[in-house]
Chain A
Amino acid sequence: MSAVRTYFRDIWMALFTVTVGMRVTFRHLFVPAVTLQYPDAKLKLPERVRNRLYVNIDDCIGCDQCSLACPVDCITIETIKSTADQDLGQTSTGHKKRLHVPRFDIDIAKCCYCGLCVYPCPTECIVMTDVYEFSESDRHNLIYNYSRMTSTEIEEAKAKFKKAEEEAAAKKAAAVAAAAQKKQEPPKASS
């Protein structure tokens, strides 16, 4: 007898549970959709999101801290020392700029958005922005060049530095020579 009872109870349960499920789906038919139609509407990002990097090259002192901190080595920096007669000015944070930065490349395709490059920067010129739509069809376009020095400027700076260095070397050599001469002269008065 119990088998018969289970048989009918099963059928009843099947029908009943179907209606339960269908009630739920029907109710949701009229629940407003949660979909955000992305390119038309966007979520407001949190304040401290980490997306595309931005470098304010005017403030960069070329200290290479960010490049050293980067775990995937996607920042490449080259610097040229300035000479004594040049004044590269100050950063907005008040640091004296002593180096030209002819090359400041970030390969954003490699970047893992860890943000480690941001913290060591003494002038706070490398920052995370909230821009996240920068897909490219060629990945070479994802290497961002932040340096604004033209090739002639770079050549000039290099030449100047070289000259200054040569001059310094010559001066040094002269000084060394002078010192050596001094040594050779016999002491005039020695008691």
Chain B
Amino acid sequence: MEELLQSFIGESWLLYVILAVPPLVFILLYALVTVWTEMKVSAHMQDRVAYMYTGPHGLFQPVADILKLLQKEDTIPAAADKTLFRLAPFLVFTGTYAGFAALPFSSAYIGSNINLGVFYIVAVSSIVVVGLLMAGWASNNKWSLFGAMRSAAQVISYEIPTALALLIAVMITGSLNLQEVIRFQDGGIFNWVVFGGPFPLLQKLLLLPFTFIAFLILFVAGIAEVNRTPFDLPEAESELVQGYNTEYSGMKFAIFYLAEYANMYLVSAIAACVFLGGWSSPFGDFMSGPLWGVFWIVLKGFFFVFLQIWIRWTLPRLRVDQLMYTSWKVLTPFLFVCVFAVGLILVL
């Protein structure tokens, strides 16, 4: 797509603007759909019905919510650090959005086809932590600050399992470019890294337990990185009101919300890309192609988003020490073993 556009409009800033737009449009549409889905799923899990009045089955409720948020008064606490306070939500969203740049949406479209895609996403999504800390500090509110500190500690601890799990996929596929990673797994469901990758049977069977564990851990760490239940300590309502966004209202709050939902898709899509073959069809050549690619990756992404929603409305929240225990004493050692084993198998 990049080449095609380049042949039309040449090398100009317009090219980059056009390339940057699809993820944004996607995020906005996706957020509408997911907010609705989350409310519906949570309601039905509790034998309720959720939105019913705005449109058929409340389909337009998210739109109405946005309209409401737009009209809300945008309050800034008197004692807040005004510049940082204003900047924080946008920084959080920027970090997430920047992650989308290296996320492939089909074999033909990726925002920026960089060679260090995986590494870039891991690195750039750390900006989110800065944004959260900024929000917590600038609010000048004890709940916000506690939320932000917890969030920073959590995101940084879980960055390590995430990076290690991604490393396993990178070791197997031999590339950091997400398009290459996916192309490596092309050709049906059994070529996916989670099932051991496209190797001879014996090697596959040997790899399978380790890749599966790595995949599981990546998913768990992903939930922790987006601060969702059971790892939603930064915004633990029962103890911290609303965590780092306690003082936010109106559109700024909406941006935080949007960033959270976008982040949910980001971690889901990365897991889908490196372990479940991204845009490649599970049936080999059947239903594959650039357009089907969009369908497959969005489907896989949404599956994990649904899984996150499902987990959120099932599990209670962890304690801070349990959270750290999980990351440092369970996920990380397991991944060390996996990395070692996968390396050994690949070398032999």
Q: Is B76 an interface residue (CB 8 A)?
A: no
* A25, B49: Cβ atoms closer than 8 Å: no
Chain A, residues 1-34, CB within 8 Å of chain B (1/0): the string is: 0000000000100000010011011101111111
Q: Is B15 an interface residue (CB 8 A)?
A: no
Which B residues are in CB contact (< 8 Å) with A35? 47-49
Q: Which residue of B lies closest to A18 (CB)?
A: B315
Which B residues are in CB contact (< 8 Å) with A32? 47
Indicate whether A33 sits within 8 Å of B45 (C-beta atoms), given known contacts A25-B314, A26-B310.
no
Indicate whether A22 sits within 8 Å of B314 (C-beta atoms), given known contacts A29-B41, A33-B43.
yes
Indicate whether A28 sits within 8 Å of B47 (C-beta atoms), given known contacts A11-B330, A37-B52.
yes
Q: Which residue of B lies closest to A28 (CB)?
A: B45
Which A residues are in CB contact (< 8 Å) with B48? 33-35
Q: Which residues, 45 to 93 on B, are CB-close (under 8 Å) to A? A: 45-49, 52
Which B residues are in CB contact (< 8 Å) with A21? 314-315
Query: What are 22 A-B pairs at a CB distance below 8 A?
Result: A11-B330, A18-B311, A18-B314, A21-B315, A22-B311, A22-B314, A24-B314, A25-B45, A26-B45, A26-B310, A28-B44, A28-B45, A28-B46, A29-B41, A29-B44, A29-B45, A30-B44, A31-B44, A34-B47, A35-B49, A37-B49, A37-B52
Q: Is B109 an interface residue (CB 8 A)?
A: no
Interface residue ranges, B against A (CB under 8 Å): 41, 43-49, 52, 310-311, 313-315, 330
Which A residues are in CB contact (< 8 Å) with B44? 28-31, 33
Interface residue ranges, A against B (CB under 8 Å): 11, 18, 21-22, 24-26, 28-35, 37
Instruction: State how many angstroms separate the Cβ of B205 from the closest Cβ of chain A.
Output: 22
Instruction: State how many angstroms separate the Cβ of B159 from the closest Cβ of chain A.
Output: 21
* A22, B49: Cβ atoms closer than 8 Å: no
Q: Which residue of B lies closest to A33 (CB)?
A: B49
Cα-based distance from A25 to B138 in the complex (angstroms): 39
Instruction: State how many angstroms separate the Cβ of A184 from the closest Cβ of chain B.
Output: 91
Instruction: State how many angstroms separate the Cβ of B39 from the closest Cβ of chain A.
Output: 13
Which A residues are in CB contact (< 8 Å) with B330? 11
Main secondary structure of the interface of A (DSSP, over half): helix
Cα-based distance from A25 to B43 in the complex (angstroms): 11
Which B residues are in CB contact (< 8 Å) with A22? 310-311, 314
Indicate whether A25 sits within 8 Å of B310 (C-beta atoms), given known contacts A18-B315, A31-B47, A33-B44.
yes
Cα-based distance from A162 to B237 in the complex (angstroms): 71
* B313, A25: Cβ atoms closer than 8 Å: yes
Instruction: State how many angstroms separate the Cβ of B212 from the closest Cβ of chain A.
Output: 12
Which A residues are in CB contact (< 8 Å) with B314? 18, 21-22, 24-25
Q: Which residue of A lies closest to B322 (CB)?
A: A14
Q: Which residue of A lies closest to B333 (CB)?
A: A7
Which B residues are in CB contact (< 8 Å) with A34? 47-48
Cα-based distance from A22 to B49 in the complex (angstroms): 19
Contacts A18-B311, A29-B41 supplied; 15 other A-B pairs, CB < 8 Å: A11-B330, A21-B314, A25-B313, A25-B314, A26-B45, A26-B310, A28-B45, A28-B46, A29-B45, A31-B44, A31-B47, A33-B44, A33-B48, A34-B47, A34-B48
Cα-based distance from A175 to B65 in the complex (angstroms): 85
Which B residues are in CB contact (< 8 Å) with A18? 311, 314-315
3 A-B pairs with the lowest CB-CB distances in the bound complex, closest first:
A25-B314, A35-B49, A33-B49
Cα-based distance from A33 to B43 in the complex (angstroms): 9
Among B41, B48, B314, B315, find the residue whose CB has the most chain A CB atoms closer than 10 A: B314
Cα-based distance from A62 to B21 in the complex (angstroms): 79
Which B residues are in CB contact (< 8 Å) with A26? 45, 310
Which A residues are in CB contact (< 8 Å) with B313? 25
Which B residues are in CB contact (< 8 Å) with A11? 330
* A33, B310: Cβ atoms closer than 8 Å: no
Cα-based distance from A28 to B311 in the complex (angstroms): 14
Cα-based distance from A168 to B47 in the complex (angstroms): 75
Q: Which residue of A lies closest to B53 (CB)?
A: A37
Instruction: State how many angstroms separate the Cβ of B51 from the closest Cβ of chain A.
Output: 11
Cα-based distance from A30 to B49 in the complex (angstroms): 11
Q: Which residue of A lies closest to B316 (CB)?
A: A21
Which B residues are in CB contact (< 8 Å) with A30? 44
Q: Which residue of A lies closest to B46 (CB)?
A: A28
Cα-based distance from A11 to B41 in the complex (angstroms): 28
Q: Which residue of A lies closest to B41 (CB)?
A: A29
Q: Which residue of B lies closest to A23 (CB)?
A: B314
Which A residues are in CB contact (< 8 Å) with B43? 33
Q: Which residue of A lies closest to B216 (CB)?
A: A15
